[in-house]
Amino acid sequence: MPPPSFSDFQTVWCVQAVAALRVAERIEAGTTRIEALAEGVDERALHSVLGHLVGEGIFEEPSPGEFALNDAARELLLGIGGRFTLAWSTMETYVRTGRPGYAHVFGRGFWADLDAHPEIAAEFDDLIGPGGHPTPDPDFELADGWDDVRTVVDVGGGTGTMLRELLRARPGLRGTLVDLPGTISRAEGDFERVAQSFFDPLPAGADLYLLRSVLNDWPDMETEALLANVAHAAAPAGRVVIIGGVAPDEASPAFQIEMLLLGGRTDALSTFRDRAERAGLTVVGTSHQADGKFVVECRPRDVVAGAINVQDV
């Protein structure tokens, strides 16, 4: 792959500048003339930046000095896209500290920001669901098969995209979706809905608990608290399946935007085994889905010690 050109960086930093100045929001609110948009900044400099972006297909200039939004500007600079765009400016904070700098830009952490802006939260739910990702693959292996699995709890499952596919693929299953109230209100599917934080006590006694694209959203302390909570709900004999947030030991570390937004982590499997043990779980199997996603299966530690031969699938 060829390296990016200097002009690529030029566009990126022009986008960053207008994002920081909230130019798109001001245009959307009716301020469209460069003289007004440049209040508090250098007019000629801002005009040149916007002119460059117009040439790149971001913004329109219907008449000299008059600017308008187009689809590209809306996607990059408003709503959840704008949050992501401006969040990249916090990269240095993340690299220096290992912690997200999102609150320094938006005044509150990412989840609190979504809670304060339901319309952006709805965009985010769509982005991580059917609007921004292909239909999830419900096919993954279990160490001792699916025959005894009758009930599944999708913990932090968003609007239920994965749970719907699981129930469609295995019609005998009964499903429960756990997520925050705003997200649950947008869920669609034939399953029970539990509107709560997954750090609160979870529905207990299900055969399978699924954590898909959840652990990678949280730092160490929260990850272990969540695992302990799931272990408690899964006892005495439930299965816990993790997809996302754990990688094979031989995999190279990969940067994901969740790290920047939330301080999330992806553990190597050996690290995760120790983390799981502290939470009361033991890894009993690993596999890969057809698209390459790494799957880790755990069982409550006491059950494993007495009944299961621990080995990779």
pLDDT, tens digit only, all 313 positions of the chain = 566 566 678 999 999 999 999 999 999 999 999 999 999 999 999 999 999 999 999 999 999 999 999 999 999 999 999 999 999 999 999 999 989 999 999 999 999 999 999 999 999 988 887 766 788 999 999 999 999 999 999 999 999 999 999 999 999 999 999 999 999 999 989 999 999 999 999 999 999 999 999 999 999 999 999 999 999 999 999 999 999 999 999 998 888 888 999 988 899 999 999 999 999 999 999 999 999 999 999 999 876 544 433 333 3
Per-residue confidence (pLDDT) for residue 311, from 0 to 100: 35
Q: Which domains does the chain have, with CATH numbers?
A: 1-77 (1.10.10.10), 86-127 (no CATH), 151-307 (3.40.50.150)
Q: Which residues pair with 281 in a beta bridge?
A: 300
Per-residue confidence (pLDDT) for residue 2, from 0 to 100: 62
Per-residue confidence (pLDDT) for residue 57, from 0 to 100: 96
CB-CB contact of 239 with 144 (8 Å): no
User: What is the distance between the alpha carbons of residues 216 and 246, in angstroms, rounded to a whole number?
Assistant: 8
Closest CA to 312 of 289, 287, 288: 287
* 3-class secondary structure per residue, the chain: CCCCCHHHHHHHHHHHHHHHCCHHHHHHCCCCEHHHHCCCCCHHHHHHHHHHHHHCCCCEEEECCEEECCHHHHHHHCHHHHHHHHHHHHHHHHHHHCCCCHHHHHCCCHHHHHHHCHHHHHHHHHHCCCCCCCCCCCCCCCCCCCCCCCEEEEECCCCCHHHHHHHHHCCCCEEEEEECHHHHCCCCCCCEEEECCCCCCCCCCCCEEEEECCHHHCCHHHHHHHHHHHHHHHCCCCEEEEECCEECCCCCCCCCHHHHHHCCCCEEHHHHHHHHHHHCEEEEEEEECCCCCEEEEEEEHHHHHHHCCCCCC
Give Dmax (Cα) for the chain: 76
Other beta carbons within 10 Å of 181? 12
Phi-psi region of 132 (alpha: psi -120 to 50; beta: other; left: phi over 0): alpha
Beta strands 294-300; 281-288: pairing state: antiparallel
User: What is the distance between the alpha carbons of residues 265 and 259, in angstroms, rounded to a whole number?
Assistant: 6
